[in-house]
Structure 1
Amino acid sequence: MRSVARWPVWELRRSLIVVLLAVVLLAGGLVVAALAVLPADRATAVAVLGAAGLTALGVLHTELAIGIERLRRRLPEGAYLDLMTVWTFAGALVLPPGPAALTVLGVYGHLWFRVWRRAGVAAYRILYTAATVVLAVVAASVVAGPARVGVTGDIGAGGSAADYGLLLAAVVVYCLVNQALVVLALTLSTRRFGWRAALGDWDEHGIEVSTLCLAVLVALAAPAQPLLVPLVLPPLLMLHRAVLIRQLQDRVDTDAKTGLLTAGAWRDRAQRELARARRRRLAVAVLLLDLDHFKEINDGHGHLAGDEVLSAVAGTVAAQVRDDDPVGRFGGEEFVVLLAGLPPGTEGRERAHLAAERIRRAVSDLEVPIDPSGGRTTVDGVSVSVGVAFSGADRRALDDLLRSADYALYAAKRAGRNRVRPMRHRSTGRR
């Protein structure tokens, strides 16, 4: 019982634990039910054999890419693109729901044993991931059932338009079920719904479409030409390398202490948002934030406590703006935000000022628990000064906006700190 009480799953929010248990139990129940209704005939034996074959290929896939996968698991958290879709979705197209679900359990069980467990990933995470894929596979298998590739249909030999329609519907159902459950878990864990997490980005969509296309090719080849199926492994390994490069780029662009964009990555994102705003005749605002008296926190509690405060402030700032608003760490205790797509004129200026005030108040309410050598304590009384620069019809360059925000920040510091100041006409003096 003591061992059970120490499981990492109990550290999750109660709502997330409930969802996790519900999804796992539902997936387990569907697997049992789908297997129980299978008749004891030759078709079932062939389906189970097909599930074993796809599982074996998934295991081989993992072993060939194990070095890349272990490195991916050691990288900071981010969008984890799942290339096992090639085998799980192929199972949904080729096999009845029960054997297709067995493919998922076999592939992910081996993945956990060989990669996730060694990387220290909590077992409940692979359990939830496998359960979401089981539900997606079962749903897609049911949709594709009337046009089962190589079993009850004839898609591989030139099926009807209805067969191809069911195939497309199975793709949509698979993606929707899986993505919805993943976004649900992310929303409950952060208590914040994000459209970026829900929709992903174009790179993620491109990789997902590639794996789905390979899965369809596997499903078409498996019944008639099974010896051709291993030919998908070389392009799969190339996809692994592409995903690894993408994750390494994300790591380069991410500040290690705060999880925000680095200054260079923020500048790149901000330039793109500024160009987009100009094309749409919209405005942007730059917020430059500086932690007040941060040296006193480092001197009084230590630099590790200072890092925790930085991380807490970073999370608070990011939570107060939209997903599409780039947030970066600009210096030691400086942060920078670009508010994109604002209306030009007075309304846009007011929105930018309200956003800055919202951030300032949220930081002021922070209580950061730390654990110094003298015992656990809390750092409160944290505050930020904010300078705001706005670009509407003047179409100012990003560097000009940063300079104006810097002057405004200096004015906020001189006025007593813990306040917001909009840009004024350029003045002299620096912090």
Structure 2
Amino acid sequence: MDEPSPAPGSRTLWGLGPGPLGLALVVELTAVAVAVAGLVALPAAGQPLLLALGLTALSVVHTELATGIERVRRRASENSYFDLSSVWTFAAALLLPPGLAAVVIVLVYVHLWHRVWAPAGIPLYRHVFTTATVLLAARAAHEVVALAGGLPADPTQPGVVLAVGLAVGSYVLVNTLLVGAVIALSGPRPVLRDLFGRWDDNALEVATLCMGALAAVALASTPALVALVLPPILVLHRAVLVRQLEQEASTDAKTGLLNAAAWQTQALRVVDRARRTGSGAGVLMLDLDHFKIVNDTHGHLAGDDVLAAVAAELRAEVRSHDVVGRFGGEEFVVLLPDLPAGGTGRTELWRVAERLRDRVSRLDVGVATSGGLRTVTGLSVSIGGATVPTDGTTLDQVLTAADASLYEAKAGGRNLVRIAADAHVPSPRRPTA
């Protein structure tokens, strides 16, 4: 599941701030209390203990076989990461008493830390918090299945099957809400996707938990069949890695937005669709004013923090299906599909641009410098806009018109919005990608 990112210049839990720090400590202490309470009834021997040892061994084998892939995934995904080891933690939640399931989860995550997380350079506090959320999610899933008699009572009964489905939902819900709450407290205005992850990421989590349920049923009835879980989960690792690397190739590393090439690929599709259907669309080009002063005063790393903060503001202000990208340097671009054609669309585009301009002007960014923590204030952005089909029917035409409007905004004194007028003849100046 998505995890809280460290504040600029901070790689410790204490750098998160009082809000997320307090919630993280509450979650971790609650997980410890729940685990300790379960240990009171921990069985000394018998089948549960053998199942616990088997699940731990399977998780170790799984991690060792996928160590190289997982380290790449960890390095490539700083903020969003769905852990495929939940196939074993979820199986433990369904099969084992709560205390024994907690022991398995802790052992699984201790091994993950030494083999994957630590070598990938992930902060320890994130690993501890993730372990705590998994402990609580697993306990919630266990309680749901326990209401149906638990496993391995009779997996063929409809009530048990329904309970397993509800357990999957409860595991995802608890984990998502806990992590999303910390992310919400970590930033000023987080977007919905940052809080709950993308649909495909959540689908991957649900698929992994379903495999965990099948592994639990196999262990309860025919334990040797659980070996069949390993090949598909390893193939899934590679498929997820390919998708993640493709995503990284289309993402600007400093801001998390689409890079210029990926943005233009998506924008071409939107503009072509608008031309075919007769609908409207709008393009905004934004340029941070006097950004060189930030770099010269605070350093280029601080400048990167400012770019990331501005990018977050842009994503938070526009709609979820609007396409936001970084063109290079301090220049950003936003594509707004499904705007009304004509003057109504221009007016709506201007309103969005004004909201973006105002939002950036009120932005204060904490940055780490050689002299300590500093706050960058007084930022502003000049914005130029153009619409489809009024200012062009191709992406190049609309970009040229928007860039000409941006030039007018900067020439007019900066911190301004200029939208191309009807029959606007753009200047020959082209955007720098």
TM-score tier by shorter-chain length is 0.7 to 0.9
Corresponding position of 2:178:
181
Q: CA offset at residue 383 of structure 1? A: 2.6
The superposition leaves residues 81-114 of structure 1 with CA deviations (integer Å, 9 ceiling, x where unpaired) of 2101110111122223222222211111111122
Asked whether the 8 Å contact 2:272–2:394 carries over to 1, the reply is no
Corresponding position of 1:66:
67
Corresponding position of 2:427:
429
1:165 correspondence with 2:158: no
Q: CA offset at residue 228 of structure 1? A: 2.0
1:27 is matched with which residue: 20, 26, 31? 31
1:234 correspondence with 2:231: yes
Corresponding position of 2:96:
95
Greater CA drift, 140-149 or 330-339: 140-149
Q: CA offset at residue 137 of structure 1? A: 0.8
Give the paired residue count: 419
Q: CA offset at residue 187 of structure 1? A: 1.3
Greater CA drift, 195-204 or 168-177: 195-204
**Aligned partner of 1:33: which letter?**
A
The superposition leaves residues 163-196 of structure 1 with CA deviations (integer Å, 9 ceiling, x where unpaired) of 2111211111111111111211221112334332
Asked whether the 8 Å contact 2:401–2:427 carries over to 1, the reply is no
SS in 2 for 1:330: strand
The superposition leaves residues 169-224 of structure 1 with CA deviations (integer Å, 9 ceiling, x where unpaired) of 11111111111112112211123343323553343244223312321221111022
SS in 1 for 2:328: coil
Q: Provide the rounded CA distance (Å) in 1 between the counterparts of 2:13 and 2:370.
A: 28
SS in 2 for 1:382: coil
Percentage of pairs with the same residue: 50
**Aligned partner of 1:21: which letter?**
L
**TM-score scaled by length of structure 2:** 0.86
Structure 1 163/190 Cα, relative in aligned 2: closer, same or farther at 3 Å? same
Corresponding position of 1:15:
19
**Aligned partner of 1:57: which letter?**
L
Asked whether the 8 Å contact 1:328–1:336 carries over to 2, the reply is yes
1:204 correspondence with 2:208: no
Asked whether the 8 Å contact 1:287–1:405 carries over to 2, the reply is yes
Q: Provide the rounded CA distance (Å) in 1 between the counterparts of 2:272 and 2:19.
A: 41
Corresponding position of 1:3:
none
1:77 correspondence with 2:78: yes
The superposition leaves residues 129-166 of structure 1 with CA deviations (integer Å, 9 ceiling, x where unpaired) of 11111111111111111445653x111xxx22222111
Structure 1 393/47 Cα, relative in aligned 2: closer, same or farther at 3 Å? farther
Greater CA drift, 199-208 or 10-19: 199-208
Structure 1 290/214 Cα, relative in aligned 2: closer, same or farther at 3 Å? same
Structure 1 428/186 Cα, relative in aligned 2: closer, same or farther at 3 Å? closer
Corresponding position of 1:214:
211
Corresponding position of 1:408:
405
SS in 1 for 2:51: helix
Q: CA offset at residue 309 of structure 1? A: 4.1
Equivalent positions of 1:18-417 (< 5 A) are 18-37=22-41, 45-147=46-148, 150-151=151-152, 153-155=153-155, 159-272=156-269, 283-295=280-292, 303-304=300-301, 306-342=303-339, 348-367=345-364, 380-391=377-388, 396-417=393-414
RMSD of the alignment, in Å?
A: 3.0
Asked whether the 8 Å contact 2:391–2:397 carries over to 1, the reply is no
The superposition leaves residues 43-76 of structure 1 with CA deviations (integer Å, 9 ceiling, x where unpaired) of xx32232122111111111111111112222224
SS in 2 for 1:154: coil
Q: Provide the rounded CA distance (Å) in 1 between the counterparts of 2:67 and 2:402.
A: 48
The superposition leaves residues 233-282 of structure 1 with CA deviations (integer Å, 9 ceiling, x where unpaired) of 12111111112112211221111233221011112333455577789986
Larger RCO (CA under 8 A, 6+ residues apart)? 2
Asked whether the 8 Å contact 1:286–1:390 carries over to 2, the reply is yes
Asked whether the 8 Å contact 1:353–1:422 carries over to 2, the reply is yes
Structure 1 298/92 Cα, relative in aligned 2: closer, same or farther at 3 Å? closer
Unaligned runs of 5+ in 2: 1-9
The superposition leaves residues 382-418 of structure 1 with CA deviations (integer Å, 9 ceiling, x where unpaired) of 3321011233799944333322212211221232222
Structure 1 282/11 Cα, relative in aligned 2: closer, same or farther at 3 Å? farther
Q: CA offset at residue 329 of structure 1? A: 0.9
Asked whether the 8 Å contact 2:274–2:388 carries over to 1, the reply is no
**TM-score scaled by length of structure 1:** 0.86
Asked whether the 8 Å contact 2:118–2:124 carries over to 1, the reply is yes
Q: Provide the rounded CA distance (Å) in 1 between the counterparts of 2:107 and 2:31.
A: 14
Q: Provide the rounded CA distance (Å) in 2 between the counterparts of 1:340 and 1:333.
A: 23
